[in-house]
Chains A and B, each alone.
Chain A
Amino acid sequence: MLRDWLGHHHGGHDSPVHRLPAAAKLWTALTIIAGTVLVPWDWHAWFIAVAALLSLAALLSRIAIGFLLRRLLLLSPFVLGVVLVNALHASVHGSWPALAARSGICLFTVVLLANTTTFGKILSALRSARVPALLVTTLALMHRYLFVLLDESERMRRARASRTFQRQRRVRWHLLGTVVGQLFVRASERAERIYAAMCARGWK
């Protein structure tokens, strides 16, 4: 279930949008986001042009529109909440439709980017943009072991659920803390093994 929520659409998918160089996509996305955030709301041409470009890219990418919209809806509760608050309390400038449009466009851009570009390619684009190597290595390791640790925590949750019968409140809190602590212990033990493996393969 977790995997469904987090999963992306780029296994086995191929389209002109998928094949574009990652760096170009990344910088285009960043430009679109920066422009959408900075441009004043009465520049309707910008918003229309960006919306047209994004819909074209979405069509060309051959990702199911339903999937993209579902992802958008899943991510927007906070946006909807603030838009609602803003609609009720008239604020100084920037009406709530502008807020909704801006957030929507940016969210859609990121969803599209993430679903047409693998993270590894984004990382190599970052590396060639001279992002510090330590940060890129950390990101790469994190992405590599993210799903391993998510599976590990899922196994721990299942093991715990099959062994505990009573779910008193304070026991539940204690268990949550123990699970988090245990997860860290396992992660740090795994880090030691990874370092040994890296050295064995001639790292550095």
Chain B
Amino acid sequence: MHIPDGFLDGKTAATAAALSAVGVGLALRQVRRELPPRRMPLLGLSAAFLFAAQMVNFPVAGGTSGHLVGGVLVAALLGPSAAIIVLAAVLIVQCFLFADGGVSALGANLFNMGILGAGGGYLVYRLVSSQLRGLRGQVTGVAFGGWIATVLASIGCAGELAWSHTIAWTVAFPMMAGVHMVIGIGEGLIGALAFVAIARTRPEIVAERTPASGGTVPSGILRYGLLVALGLAVFVAPFACPWPDGLESVAAKLGFAGNATSAIVHAPVPDYRLPGIHSAASATALAGALGTVAVFGLALLLGRILVRKPVRKSTKDPSC
């Protein structure tokens, strides 16, 4: 999901970079304020851990393999602000040292995997774990949050590629979202299994987060939520929104150059004018909603299985 250089045009890269700069700035401020100095090396070590963990491939249906992104796992262990910094470090090293992901696309990659992935996924994790108490809720949250994070990041990626006119939205969206709805199951499963393994060997790492995050984080959560919503509104809404007027006003409000505006407005419109697209669009939405509910059910089941029988090996494997 690392976008290389040359795939994003100037406006997309700059918008994404600005959004992620705000996100990383907020995260740095938050971490500087609340992380005790004794935990400071943990940020660098967690980044190294995430890099090593991303090398572990898991099989996905059809011979391909995916790998962990791990944003939600780290966010559940260290908090969302620390997770955003950890992901920023991982992406910067991957970009400059291993040329994995473009320099000009660094902002976009950071937004997709850091802000949408770790920040957005953490919101879901909090929501689930505040409803379901205890370790079971946390495990369910990590599993479901991991899936949502992967899908969100892929949708953000598709929106950015489409906004840059690199791949048409009608091709990019089904391709990216479809593949990542499957990969996301692996992400959620590995994340949940790893979380349980950590809770079993070092319960204090997992327990440490619960009371601390209850007290101090909500304002931070709100900020990341706002950033996630803003990003989705900029990158995804213009394509998902079927009304040209709304599209036009968004484009005008953001102040694009005249030719850019006309390109954005005219390109997607013919797609939406096609007869029958309305039913197709609602069918897609319905399928997405059903898939989300199904995955949530699986996550719930996973949490139940993993936590009730602490020593037995896990049995749920929905993706293979």
Which residues of the other chain, B, contact A177 by a CB distance below 8 angstroms?
A: 189-190, 192-194, 196-197, 314
B86-123 CB mask vs A (1 if < 8 Å, else 0) is 10111011011111101110000000000000000000
- With contacts A148-B48, A153-B56, A194-B45 taken as known, whether A135 is within 8 angstroms of B6 at the C-beta atoms is no
Give the docked Cα–Cα distance between A180 and B77 (Å).
Answer: 13
- The answer to whether B55 touches A36 (Cβ under 8 A) is no
CB distance from B180 to the nearest CB of A (A): 14
The contact of A173 among B52, B100, B314, by CB within 8 Å, is B314
Q: B151 interface residue, CB < 8 Å from A? A: no
Give the docked Cα–Cα distance between A133 and B93 (Å).
Answer: 16
Give the docked Cα–Cα distance between A105 and B48 (Å).
Answer: 29
CB closest residue in chain A, given B195 = A181
- The answer to whether A170 touches B51 (Cβ under 8 A) is no
Q: A20 interface residue, CB < 8 Å from B? A: no
Q: A176 interface residue, CB < 8 Å from B? A: yes
- The answer to whether A103 touches B89 (Cβ under 8 A) is no
- With contacts A183-B52, A185-B202 taken as known, whether A103 is within 8 angstroms of B93 at the C-beta atoms is no
CB closest residue in chain A, given B86 = A138
Q: B256 interface residue, CB < 8 Å from A? A: no
What's the dominant secondary structure at chain A's contact region? Answer: helix
Which residues of the other chain, B, contact A75 by a CB distance below 8 angstroms?
A: 98-100
- With contacts A36-B6, A114-B97 taken as known, whether A141 is within 8 angstroms of B165 at the C-beta atoms is no
- The answer to whether B196 touches A37 (Cβ under 8 A) is no
- The answer to whether B166 touches A143 (Cβ under 8 A) is no
Give the docked Cα–Cα distance between A191 and B193 (Å).
Answer: 22
- The answer to whether B38 touches A146 (Cβ under 8 A) is no
CB closest residue in chain B, given A143 = B93
Q: What are 28 inter-chain pairs, A to B, with CB distance below 8 A?
A: A6-B98, A8-B97, A33-B104, A79-B6, A85-B175, A86-B166, A86-B167, A91-B165, A92-B168, A92-B267, A99-B7, A103-B7, A106-B4, A111-B99, A138-B44, A142-B47, A142-B90, A144-B44, A169-B320, A173-B193, A174-B314, A177-B190, A181-B195, A181-B197, A187-B42, A188-B42, A188-B202, A195-B41
